[in-house]
């Protein structure tokens, strides 16, 4: 196949749609607080019980979904995003700073990676990942 990538049976699905299905490779993209778990898990206007219930539901959903990878699991996240995008997408913003001509929001990877401890996937940079996939 050379430098081209041949992929069969590709699907883009929500975390909930992955439950009960196994795939060779699962790529969980944009795994940042606010997307997974959703922002409601952090809202100060919610009660502690509501936040805990939402966090537990999201944790089960995330863990059940990513555990369906039989060969490779890639969890992708980023640490900053344009402030307008972060607010519109309801990411959990940690800090805002000026960068260039605009403002940038600092965001965190999903809390579930820290909770996973040693069971979490190892951190691999994008170039190393592509080399590992044979796409260098």
Tens-level pLDDT at each residue, the chain (136 residues): 333 444 455 677 777 777 677 888 888 888 899 888 888 888 877 788 998 999 999 999 888 888 888 888 888 889 999 999 999 988 999 999 999 889 999 999 999 988 887 777 676 666 666 676 665 5
pTM above 0.75, yes or no: no
Provide CB contacts within 8 A for 42, sequence distance 6+: 33, 34, 51, 92
């Amino acid at each position: 196949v050379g430098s081209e990538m041949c992929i069969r049976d590709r699907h883009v699905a929500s975390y909930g749609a992955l439950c009960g299905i196994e795939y060779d490779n699962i790529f969980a993209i944009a795994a940042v607080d606010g997307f997974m778990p959703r922002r409601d898990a952090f809202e100060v206007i919610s009660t502690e019980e509501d936040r805990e219930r939402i966090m537990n539901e999201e944790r089960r959903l995330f863990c059940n979904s990513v555990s369906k990878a039989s060969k490779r699991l890639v969890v992708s996240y980023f640490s900053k995003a344009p402030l307008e995008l972060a607010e519109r997408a309801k990411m959990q913003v940690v800090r805002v700073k000026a960068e260039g001509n605009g403002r940038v929001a600092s965001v965190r990877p999903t809390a579930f990676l820290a909770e996973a401890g040693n069971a979490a996937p190892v951190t691999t940079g994008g170039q190393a990942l592509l080399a590992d996939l044979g796409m260098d």
